[in-house]
Amino acid sequence: MTKPLPLDGVRVIEVCNVAAGPFCGMLLADMGADVVKVEHPEGGDTLRAWPPINDGYSENFASLNRNKRSVTLNLKDAGDLALLRELAAGADVLIENNRPGVMERLGVGYAALSALNPKLVYCSISAYGQSGPRSQEGGFDLTVQAMSGIMSVTGEADRPPVKCGVPLADFAAGLYASLGIVAALRSAQASGRGAHLDVPMLGATLGIAALQTSEYFGSGRDPVRLGSAHPRNAPYRVFRSRDGYFGMAAGNNALWRGVCDVLARADLLDDERFATPSTRARHQDALLVILEQEFARADTATWLDRFRAAGVPCAPINTYSQVLADPQVEHMQWVQPLELPNGVRTRTFASPMRFSGEGLPVRLRPPALGEHNDEVLGPLRAGRGAAQ
């Protein structure tokens, strides 16, 4: 990117592990923030041990920790805690995803650090929030998906509950946290006062379930598992063709007419069961039988070509290897080369955002554990020695 990045000059201290916090930190780092990742000297972030391991380095860790620097501090050591306080005193943001109360007991909670640095934006990510009856319960993506209702609407109606294959709770929390931090930075710049952001994974996961919660509030009924189908719209699901499956979403009457045109089934337009999106949704089991009888006449590629030509949204059921090789992904330059600390070259999915037509660059490879101790902590230690 030729222009200055949006968060150039912002210093972030990340005291986080695994997913939600590191994802938040990476989003800020991608936008130009100087993110210093604080890790325990013995092993560091747990994600460093997650496979696939490429000649000693985790590709999972690399995917969430580009554009950062790493330092090692043992927060049970008084001297290292003092260094963390010094880092926070000169920072704009601190992110932590420990269980509520841990940072306070260590003496590096929001109250203690904001006394040193009133403009500090302090973001706490946790399973259930900093207060309340569940605040002391731990949580991972699986348990939050279960608690939040996500698993009650995921999967087929006659099968056991399943989690979404993507860790929605972790990454929704990271997204909310990054948005909150950027907003709080603007406020701190104007007022001179930072803020303590409380980002619960449960709340973030409920926040992105607005259609499901509003369905309950409006009807008094719990949303249910529908597989790939939609509760209020049809045809809007995965369909079987002669050789496989594809997704097709005719989300309004104009698109429904396009479907009928492709199938040469004008008679379906006169069927009262299928007159509107809502009536089609109510009768979608019957509609599924009719449509799949038609789709059995040709293969997936043929149907995708026909629906695209008619302007009806549709897509293959891609694997990740397939979608990452898609021409649109290539055009957007989302897959970028990435070097691991051992020099091994791999690839990563870079930031999907563009600012004025330019993507956000991979400026720094993911760091080795403690790689930047001398660079970041050295001046602090030298200053302390000189003071003595």
Q: Which residues are catalytic?
A: 170
Task: Work out the angle at residue 60's Cα, subtended by the Cα atoms of residues 245 and 352, and round it to the nearest 5 degrees.
Answer: 65
94 with 13: CB under 8 angstroms?
A: yes
Using alpha carbons, select from 250, 327, 319, 323 the residue that is nearest to residue 291.
Answer: 250
- Cβ-based neighbour number of residue 265 at 10 Å: 14
Q: Which residues pair with 194 in a beta bridge?
A: none
Beta bridge partners of 36: 13, 69
> CA-to-CA distance for 135 and 125, rounded, in angstroms?
11
Per residue in 321-340, is it b (16+ CB within 10 Å) or e — as a string? Answer: eeeeeeeeeeeeebeeebeb
Name, in order, each residue with C-beta under 8 angstroms of 12's C-beta and a sequence gap of 6 or more.
25, 28, 29, 33, 34, 35, 36, 91, 92, 93, 94, 95
Rounded alpha-carbon distances, angstroms, from residue 101 to 39, 105, 141? 19, 6, 20
Quote the longest CA-to-CA distance of the chain: 89
